[in-house]
Amino acid sequence: MAHILVSYPSTTVKCGGFSGGMPPWERRQSRAVGVVQCCSCSSTEEVGVFGKVENESKRSKSRSREIKEIDNNNNNNNKETDENKLDCLVSEFGWEVRRLVVEDDEMRRVAFLQAQAFHTPLLLFNDLFFDFFQAEVLSGLLYKLKNSPPDRYACLVAEPANNSSRESQGKLVGVVDVTVQRDTPVLQHLQGAQEYVYISGLAVSKSFRRRKIASVLLKACEMLAILLGYEYLVLRAYEEDLGAQTLYSKAGYHVVSGDPPWLSSWIGRKRRVLLIKRSNI
């Protein structure tokens, strides 16, 4: 299954929440591949890694308090009318897409879906590194929800429609991030636009892939862009991922540029391409 990449360029709204301004799955591409290497840890750092386990428990409690704080703030938000309009953005092929509910369990399920999609399996201590990776994804989600207005950032989730099979009832099967940005290198491709909707972090549960969920999520992103009044949608994908580019092409996106060659040769990161779509606003 193809995944839309996350990128956090400099904008007026900081929605990264990751150390170094780069999400963990992007940061990995700039590192040399090793047998045990993952994120910022390697086999030579085992003592340091295990020393973090106790601290992780404390951070988990802190995240729970942050989730409750965000929930309380949302309950006091005066934009209830706008929120009600976005309860269900799209319902197709047996799937519905809505905004994420700011609630402990649902946020953790979203973090698990994205971590599952972007985590690179390791030969040693894979479960431990996956837990760290998932915690970092959750931390980034908390940061974005806490620091971004609802008309600048949204986490959209896909779930089965009411008449779906029992197999999928009550499950989150897909997720995608939508952020309003105005990065100058991107705007040069968008005639007359001052801002655009950036799509990132698209992930579908392994058990529910190839069931049109990614297509429904992309359509929900476009619907949100129309409701918010934005003309262009933008996303990035790896140049070598032809399956992903086929998916986006069918959804109406086309390639307009790519990363400079030196970025992959010097830093070692896979080359990405920039795709745009004009909404039906």
Q: Which residues are catalytic?
A: 248
Distance CA 138, CA 109 (A): 9
Beta bridge partners of 10: none
Tell me how many degrees the CA angle 248-252-255 measures, rounded to the nearest 5: 65
Q: Could you tell me where the beta strands, DSSP code E, fall in the chain?
A: 90-92, 95-99, 153-160, 174-181, 196-204, 232-238, 254-258, 272-278
Q: Which residues neighbour 201 within 8 Å (Cβ) at sequence distance 6 or greater?
A: 3, 4, 6, 23, 114, 175, 176, 177
How long a stretch of residues is the chain? Answer: 281
Q: What is the CA radius of gyration of the chain?
A: 19
Distance CA 62, CA 257 (A): 41
